[in-house]
Every structure is written in structure tokens, then in C-alpha cells.
Amino acid sequence: MNNKTINLDCLILAAGSASRFGSCKQLADWHGQPLLAASIAAARQLKPARIVVVGGAFYPQLLQALPALNAQVKNKTETPVELLEFPAWNLGLGHSLAHAVKYLQNSNPVLVLLADQPLISAQDLQNLYHHWCQNPEKIASASFANTLGVPALFPAQFKARLYECRGDRGAKSLLLRYSNHVIPVAMPSAEFDVDTPADLSNYLRKAI
């Protein structure tokens, strides 16, 4: 990617309570950095207009960590992270997604990411973006394990549909409902997410 900021917003969902993890999963150690930092670093390489992290259950911890998450922003070509609080996070992923998309009141497409998919690389996101650029009226979605899911890039006209997400029905339900409007982009790395401390430790042990 060049140094020019592109008209794209990145939305990283990190509002959940991580009940299976038992603590603030978003800030768990991942190769010496917070787990969330992996998603931010990949998103930042796209040079998006905005990167918004949605915090909820662990909003105070994320707010405290925000300076460290922005420590790599050294010039105007690097997008800083904005932290958005969603106090009603217990209503579910869909509600936090809808809340965040409404916060982005503009005509930019929006890239939806999760905070717990640390294997997603900058190249994965650039590949997704390039596929979307070839068909900007459609949704570009990660394709893995015989399904569609996030990361997914939604053109602005689909924001109204994202507003309607509720409960635990997030972007994936929308991708399946509008599958005829989706460009699937192979992304095996999207299959791995961190649900439990065992997921994290097992992967890190294998990586040594």
C-alpha cells in the first residue's frame, strides 16, 4: 500500500466479556504485545481513514492500554486508534456492531474485524481490499472452513443492514443472508480465533 490514506473505516469488535477466557482476552499477551494489537497492526497497514475499537466489558482496561496501542503512530500517515465505549455490551455482538456502525456517520465502506483473530495479516486485509475494489458494490468476505465470516468489507449502502444487527447475530448472519452479494476471499488464517487460555497457550507453544 502507498502512504495515502484511503476512504475506508476499520471497525474492531472488542466489547465482549470473554467469559470462556476468564479475563480481558483483548489484552492477553501475544508475542509480547496485547492480542488486540495484532488486529490493529494489520488494519493500520491499509492506511484507513479511521480505526475504531469497540470496548464494553473491559472498556476501562482498554482505555488504559490505548496509549500503548497508539505508540507506533509516529507520523500523520499512520492511523491512530479510537476507542468507542458500548455500555450495553451485554446485549450481544450484534448490538455492539450496530452501535459502532452508527458511530461512523459517513459514506465510507467499513471493514469489520474481531479482536481475537491474531493470525489475520496485513496481506490478508490488503487482498480482501483489492477484491472489493474490483466489485465495490458488493461485500468482500473472508472464506474459511466452508463458511463466510469476518474480516468482511461492507460498502456504505450495507450500513443500514448492519444497523439492524441484534443479540449475538453479528456480521456473519448478514453475510449468509446476502450471500449473492458477497465476494468470497480465501483466508485460512481467519479460522483461528482465541476463545480460551488453552487456545492461546497451545498456539504459542507450537509457534516456539
Mean pLDDT of 51-55: 97
| Pairing assessment for the beta strands 147-154 and 139-144 based on DSSP bridges | antiparallel
Mean pLDDT of 168-186: 89
The CA–CA distances, whole Å, from 80 to 4, 77, 181 equal: 15, 9, 31
For residue 169, is pLDDT > 80? no
| Sign of the Cα pseudo-torsion (174, 104, 194, 117, in order) | positive
* 61 three-state secondary structure: helix
Percent of the chain with pLDDT over 70: 97
Give the tens place of pLDDT for each residue, 111-127: 999 999 999 999 999 99
Please tell me the chain's helix, strand, coil percentages from 3-state DSSP, rounded to the nearest 5: 40, 25, 35
Q: Nearest Cα to 45, choosing from 17, 10, 15?
A: 10
How far, in Å, CA of 200 to CA of 35, rounded? Answer: 10
How far, in Å, CA of 187 to CA of 88, rounded? Answer: 31
CB 5 within 8 A of CB 79: yes
- Please state the pTM of the whole predicted model: 0.93
Give the tens place of pLDDT for each residue, 135-162: 999 999 999 999 999 999 999 999 989 9
At 13, which helix (H) or strand (E)?
A: strand 6-14
Of the pLDDT bands very low, low, confident and very high (cuts 50, 70, 90), residue 4 is: low
Fold of 6-207: Spore Coat Polysaccharide Biosynthesis Protein SpsA; Chain A (3.90.550)
What pLDDT, on a 0 to 100 scale, did the predictor assign at position 208? 58
What pLDDT, on a 0 to 100 scale, did the predictor assign at position 174? 87
Q: Over the chain, what is the mean pLDDT?
A: 92
Taking the domains of the chain in order of start, what are their residue ranges?
6-207
For residue 205, is pLDDT > 80? yes
The residue that leads in pLDDT, 113 or 169, is 113
Name the amino acid, one letter, at 196. Answer: T
Of the pLDDT bands very low, low, confident and very high (cuts 50, 70, 90), residue 15 is: very high
* 120 three-state secondary structure: coil
Which grid cell is 13? 469488535
For residue 72, is pLDDT > 80? no
Task: Please state, as a whole number, how many other Cβ atoms lie within 10 Å of the Cβ of residue 120.
Answer: 24
For residue 75, is pLDDT > 80? no
The full 3-state SS of 18-42, as one line of letters, equals: CCCCCCCHHHCEECCEEHHHHHHHH
What pLDDT, on a 0 to 100 scale, did the predictor assign at position 100? 93
For residue 14, is pLDDT > 90? yes
Return the residue matching grid coordinates 494489520: 42
